[in-house]
Every structure is written in C-alpha cells, then in structure tokens.
Amino acid sequence: MIRVITSFLIFFSFLYASDKDLKLFDKIIIVVNGQPVLQSELDMAMQWFGINNKKEAAKKLIDQILVAQEAEKLGIRVDPKEIDDAILRIAKANKLESVEQFKNKLIEQGLSFTEFKDLIKRELLIRRYIQIHLRRALFGGIKEGKQVKTRKVRIIFLSTSNKDFKEKYDYLLKNLNADNFPELAKKYSDDPITAEKGGLLGEVQKGDLIPKLDQQIWKKKIREIFEVPVKNGVYFVIVEAEKEKVLNQDLSGEEIAQRLKNEYQIQLNKLREKAIIEYLDKSLE
C-alpha cells in the first residue's frame, strides 16, 4: 500500500545528492484521466517512493494519482495548512527548521517545490480516503460497537481569486436558502466536484473535515446556512440532516489494518480498470 503517514518521517537522502545527478525535463510523459504528468513529477516520485526503475515508479505514481482523484470525487479535501504542516514535519526530520529552508533545499537540487506540495497533498488525500471512505464502507454498517453521529452536508465554495467573487458572494448572501441550495451550488460553486452534485459533500463524522469546517458543522442547527471563511475563499454550508450509525469495535487493530489493505487494493484495481491512461513516453508502459 502507498505510504501515507510513515512517509513523513523518512529521511530524504536525495535532498543531499549532487546537482548534476538531478535534472528536470519538463515534458508531459503520461496523461491520467485527463491529468498531465510531467517528467519532473516522475523524477520526484522515484525519490519519494525509493524506486530506481522508472517504469515501476510510474506505476506507483499513477496509482497515487488515481486514488487522489477518486478521493476528491468523493468530496474529500485537504486544507493548505495541513500540507504545510506535513512539509514542516518532513523538514524537521531532515534537520531543517522551516518550510522555506526545505523549499530552498529542493530548489538547489533542481526539484520543484510546487510538485512536492502536490505529491504531499495526494498522500494526505489517500490517507483520508482510507480513514473516511474505506473504513466507513467496511465497518460502518456492523451493529456491534459504538454509536456515532453523522451529518449530511452541502457546500458552496467561492474562490476569492475569481474576478466575480464579490458579485456571486453578494447574490448568495441575499438569495440563498435551504430549498434552493442545491440549485445555486450547481450554478455558483467554484468547487466543480461538489457543484455537479448540488454541493453535496456527503455524510461526515466529527474530525472528517478540515478544522474550520468541522467545528462549525457540529455547532450549527439542522438546515441552518452559515459561512466559513478560509484562506483562499469562503464556504456557504448547510447541514441537511443528522443520524446515528454504529461502528464495529470487535476487530483487532491488525485485523482492521489487513482488511483496509485488502479493500484498498480492490478499489485500486477497479480504478485502474476504468482509468484512461495515455503513455506519451512509451518506455513507461
């Protein structure tokens, strides 16, 4: 299984390799479900996964992208601060004091900090995919165990980088209500994945989402519309319903981990089967 948490604590020896050993060739080598993959991303993945064989590294990178894409389709999100915090942990594990120092070290080695952030974002998405989606699919319907509350949530995200942000914000502030929320989410939300589902994020438990959203979602009343400002925009949120589920507690940690590993592989195989992958570099097939 792709490493998700422990990867953050591994010492990256590639940071101290010679400049001449690490060169970027910025060309598209693969397209995964319409998402282009650069040669430099593959070079980064080889270092991250510790794989010298380009074909094997490409396969691991494609798998990582497929699962991250699926996580986002399911409404799973990662806050930019979570990415920065993860990178800071990596920096400190490499005896660096800040993200900026880590960024400079990458640049010195001819590696893209933006691509590294993308890679870490995918790792975090995969971790959440396992924690939220797979755990719930495997263990959420078993009667033995403890009861937990879930809330059905819809969102509309407006990005402050869009020139029509204020116009859309003012319109929603004036016209948005519980009945027209799905319709206006489809029309105005800047999050295309949830927009096409009428803003539906799905059923969430406490701790599933980024802290700013999570805290407010569990404070507000059912069918109450509220705003959650974030660094790059603002969310309009409505909690449509609340119910209780029973989670299994009988399995040991080892058994749960093995079942999650098996289910992850099953879902990954399904994603591979339906994926549209184009190899522009035929040597990677």
- Residue 263 identity (one-letter amino acid): E
Q: Are strands 28-32 and 35-38 parallel, antiparallel or unpaired?
A: antiparallel
Q: Phi and psi of 200, rounded to 5°? A: -70, 120
pLDDT digits (tens, 9 = 90+) for 85-134: 899 999 888 888 888 998 998 888 888 888 999 999 999 999 999 888 88
- pLDDT of residue 140 exceeding 90: no
Q: Domain map of the chain by residue range?
A: 6-137+266-284, 146-247
Poorest-confidence range of 32-41, 121-130, 173-182, 208-217?
208-217
Q: How confident is the prediction for the chain on average, in pLDDT?
A: 84
Q: What is the CA radius of gyration of the chain?
A: 21
Beta-bridge mates of residue 158: 234
Instruction: With beta carbons less than 8 A apart as the criterion, state whether 40 and 109 touch.
Output: no
The CATH class, in words, for 6-137+266-284 is mainly alpha
Of residues 42, 44, 10, the one with CA closest to residue 29: 42
Q: How far is CA 150 from CA 45, 129, 141, 217, 223, in A?
A: 36, 17, 13, 11, 14
DSSP string, the chain: ----SGGGGS--GGGGS-GGG------EEEEETTEEEEHHHHHHHHHHHT---HHHHHHHHHHHHHHHHHHHHTT----HHHHHHHHHHHHHHTT--SHHHHHHHHHHTT--HHHHHHHHHHHHHHHHIIIIIIHHHHHTT-SSSEEEEEEEEEEEEEETTSTTHHHHHHHHHHH--TTTHHHHHHHH-S-HHHHTTTTEEEEE-TTSS-HHHHHHHTTSPTT-EEEEEETTEEEEEEEEEEEEEEE---S-HHHHHHHHHHHHHHHHHHHHHH--EEESSGGG-
The mean-pLDDT minimum among 1-15, 78-92, 206-220 falls in 1-15
**Residue 18: pLDDT above 80?**
no
The CATH number given to 146-247 is 3.10.50.40
Name the band, by pLDDT with cuts 50, 70 and 90, for residue 207: confident
- What per-residue confidence (pLDDT) applies to 173? 95
pLDDT of residue 16: 37
| 1 pLDDT tier (thresholds 50, 70, 90) | very low
Q: Name the pTM for this structure.
A: 0.59
Sheet holding 28-32, edge to edge: 35-38, 28-32, 277-279
For position 75, what pLDDT does the model report?
87
Query: What pLDDT shows up at residue 143?
Result: 45
**Residues 49-75: what's their mean pLDDT?**
93
Using alpha carbons only, give the angle 212, 217, 220 rounded to the nearest 5 degrees: 125
Whether 6-137+266-284 and 146-247 share one fold: the answer is no
Q: What confidence tens digit (pLDDT) does each residue in 247-268 have?
A: 555 555 677 778 788 888 889 9
Task: State how far the Cα of 247 lies from the Cα of 33, in Å rounded to an integer.
Answer: 34
Q: What is the pLDDT of residue 123?
A: 93
In residues, how long is the chain? Answer: 285
pLDDT value at residue 10: 34
The whole-number pLDDT of residue 165 equals 95
Residue 156 confidence (pLDDT) above 50: yes
Would the pLDDT of 211 be above 60?
yes
Single-letter residue type at 207: G
What pLDDT score was predicted for residue 15? 38
